[in-house]
Amino acid sequence: MATPTHVLPPVPPVQRPRVLLLGTAFATAATVMVFAGLIGVYLSRRAELVSAGDAWLPEGTDIPLQQPNVMLFTLIASAITVQWAVYAITRNDRVNTYLALGLTFAFGIAYINMQSYLYTLMEFDITANQQGVLIYAITGAHIIMVVLAMIFVALMAFRALAGQESRRQHDGISAAALFWHASVVVYAVIWIAVYVAK
Amino acid sequence: MAITETRPEPSSVEAHVNPWGADDDYPSFARSLGSSDHKTIGRLFVGFSLVFGVASWALVALSSLHDIGDVDIVPDDSIFQVFTLGRLALVFLFALPLFLGLAIYVVPLQIGASTIAFPRAAALAFWTWLLGSVILVISYASNGGFAGGRANAVDLSLVALAVVVMALLLAAVCVVTTVVTLRTPGLRLDQVPMFSWSMLVAGSMWLLALPVLLGNLLLIYLDHRLGRPSDFGVGLNQWPQVAWVVQQPQVFALAIPVLGIIGDVIATMTGARQQNRGVMLGAIAAFGILSFGAWAQPFFNDEVTTQWLYIGMGFAILLPMLALLGGWATTMRAGKPKANAATAGAVLALIPLLLAGLASALYTIDPLELQDTEVPYAQYGVLVLVIGAATVAAAGALAYWAPKIWGRSANNGVALLAVMASFGGAVIGGVALVVNGFQVRLDGLADASDFLNGVAVAGVALLALGVLLAIVSLLGRGPAAGDDPWQGQTLEWATTSPPPVGNFGTLPPVTSAEPLLDQREPAPEVAS
């Protein structure tokens, strides 16, 4: 005779305030506004020069496009991996979570490496003119944003390793992913405004 | 086989030794240093910002004194630093931290939360702000600051100001996250008390606008620090890049919490429910949106003051203020307001704010030539009126929440003097400066410029006195306050004064925006 089984009703979802996620959203908005201000100044100064009939970049200077393209694809790939981490943790798939977070971190290092290499190729003196100040300020600030995002991801990876992130409680990884996505979007704007438009 | 669980042997744990030698407790300063309790952090923010407030208004008075013909108290080569430090201090060392401190203390209580969101971040914000503020003052004293004479001190000022701004932004994140996520069950977002709502709007607007200032500071720092200033770091170009923070429309963002304070105090002191609550909340939000001024930077767009958006915002900001005035007048007619310092502060704060809105609208009218004076007196007048309104409201708010914050009432007589001095100073000083702005349009006024500047100095000095009196009203041993001395309507009055750790024992059921009033006189919808 088959043993009767009793099916329990599903556990209701836990109602909890998503404090970390919301706090990160506010902090991310503030960070994005730093770049909005910087890029606004950049575009306004560029428009002034261009409308006066001058070229934006001083004669004899150049910014190659290959490295910025590689950085863009690197960051797009990192956006996919960080979302993979969120997807995995919501299914309690720890191995994939660790792998995805590790890859995201590695993409961050690759981005910083490529940006540093680009600095060596750019024929720019940071204080020679306003163009140098603006380009280094914007790209340098973005490096800081990516480093902050990497620290956030690393911290959440350690929390996941300690069992503090799970299917029921994954706000930390979701928050880190939100900040990471914002850094990718900001870079996409920088790519168009600074590297493509020149 | 039975499994027997045995309790593990307790490990040898060293007895905790109080290094201060006290038998029962740590000294209060040691408890404050290590505390992440929102009440302690809020008190610290409020206390230090009030002290900075007296100094800030004194600096503004000194710089205004210099505009009077033969008066030469501050050397010519230092006056610009006194001018810029006074204005920066008013915003970042006084008004913003004062409101954030009040919010850090009061907002969790108003929404029935046991703590603030990210309490350790809030503590970090306070100590970082204090450190940054002290370094900012020291760097100015070392011939730094905007257009300062010592390059390293200038760089230090820029870094210190950036640190101060980041600390305040961190505190703002804590406050707005608290309002959004930690409300007690039953309390909808449109039911939060007016002050909490105004801090949600203000914090959001500060989080959107002040990071743009960080970008400005980064450009100035990079250009100045690395040796060959090309544009942004040139001495005379530095202040104009950041001056938008103390000019319209951005300056009105500092006054958003004033609207929340007025709303809460008037409703409580009148004993009546706020009518048309949704409209009032919407008006505060509209005021906040219209005060977003990070886009209006004349240094980068010298035609911005003639653009339709700037002019439109200059006029439109009056509309939410008028709507709020109508709403509060209706509430006051529905009950009988108590006569005390808190009520006076709430009622009087709206007058300089309305005058600032009017001056802001006049400033955008080109034929009046208010923008054409050599010294932008009208802009200075708007600043004094707005931060003056903030000072009046803060003096009233401190009298209102003193029982909850310090466990005893403020001295009502001294608090009333603080309100009256601040109100008089704001109106006298602000209006004198705005009138002085008409000197291009009205020839005769140029001769009266020294007199008007003298009146402005007297007004600003009154504002410094008002802040000082507010401190005195809190220092005096006022009568011990009960838990709910005002017959309050909102949740902060449902706990002891001051509240215990965790804030609340039990909370009343929350079904409306005035849960304590519901207990005394059930609202129609609750009764039904």
Measure A110 CA to nearest chain B CA, in Å: 25
- Model confidence at B526: pLDDT above 50: no
Mean pLDDT of B301-329: 93
- Model confidence at B168: pLDDT above 70: yes
Task: Give me the tens of pLDDT residue by residue for chain A, a chain 198 residues long.
Answer: 455 566 666 655 545 578 999 999 999 999 999 999 999 999 999 999 999 888 888 887 888 999 999 999 999 999 999 999 999 999 999 999 999 999 999 999 999 999 999 999 987 777 778 888 999 999 999 999 999 999 999 999 999 999 998 888 899 999 999 999 999 999 999 999 999 987
Bridge-partner residues for A96, per DSSP?
none
Measure B125 CA to nearest chain A CA, in Å: 13
CA distances to A125, B228, B246 from B381, in Å: 43, 36, 11
**Residue A58, preceding bond cis, omega within 30 degrees?**
no
Q: What is the pLDDT of residue B527?
A: 43
> Would you call B60 exposed, middle or buried from its count of C-beta atoms within 10 A (0-12, 13-18, 19+)?
buried
Q: What is the pLDDT of residue B477?
A: 65
Rounded Cα distance, A133 and A136, in Å = 5
Mean pLDDT of B103-125: 96
- Model confidence at B47: pLDDT above 90: yes
Rounded Cα distance, B95 and B323, in Å = 24
- Model confidence at B58: pLDDT above 80: yes
What is the CB neighbour count within 10 angstroms for residue A190? 23
Question: Cβ–Cβ of B230/A128 closer than 8 Å?
Answer: yes
Q: What one-character-per-residue DSSP string does B48-63 give?
A: HHHHHHHHHHHHHHHH
Mean pLDDT of B476-483: 77
User: Structure pTM?
Assistant: 0.92
B438-441 contacts at long range (C-beta below 8 A, 24 or more positions apart)? B438/B368, B438/B369, B438/B370, B439/B373, B439/B377, B440/B369, B440/B370, B440/B372, B440/B373, B441/B368, B441/B369, B441/B370
Which tokens go with B264? 């809460």
Q: Report which residue type is found at B3.
A: I
SS (H, E, C) B117-172: CCHHHHHHHHHHHHHHHHHHHHHHHCCCCCCCCCHHHHHHHHHHHHHHHHHHHHHH
Residue A124 in 3-state DSSP? Answer: coil
Interface of B with A (CB under 8 A): 117-118, 169, 172-174, 176-177, 180-182, 203-204, 207-216, 218-219, 222-223, 226-233, 294-295, 300-301
Question: Cβ–Cβ of A23/B173 closer than 8 Å?
Answer: yes
Measure B147 CA to nearest chain A CA, in Å: 18
- Residue B221 and residue B139 in contact, taking contact as beta carbons nearer than 8 Å: no
Which residue of A29, A32, A137 is in closest CB contact with B222? A137
Residue A96 in 3-state DSSP? Answer: helix
Rounded Cα distance, B205 and B291, in Å = 8
B492: which residues sit within 8 A by CB, 6+ positions away? B106, B109, B110, B193, B401, B404
By C-alpha distance, the chain B residue nearest A17 is B181
Measure B295 CA to nearest chain A CA, in Å: 8
Which residue of B180, B211, B218 is in closest CB contact with A22? B180
Q: In this predicted model, what pLDDT tens digit does every residue of B385-438 receive, in sequence order? A: 999 999 999 999 999 999 999 988 999 999 999 999 999 999 999 999 999 888
- Model confidence at B6: pLDDT above 80: no
Sign of CA dihedral B481, B487, B493, B496: positive
Q: How large is the ipTM? A: 0.91
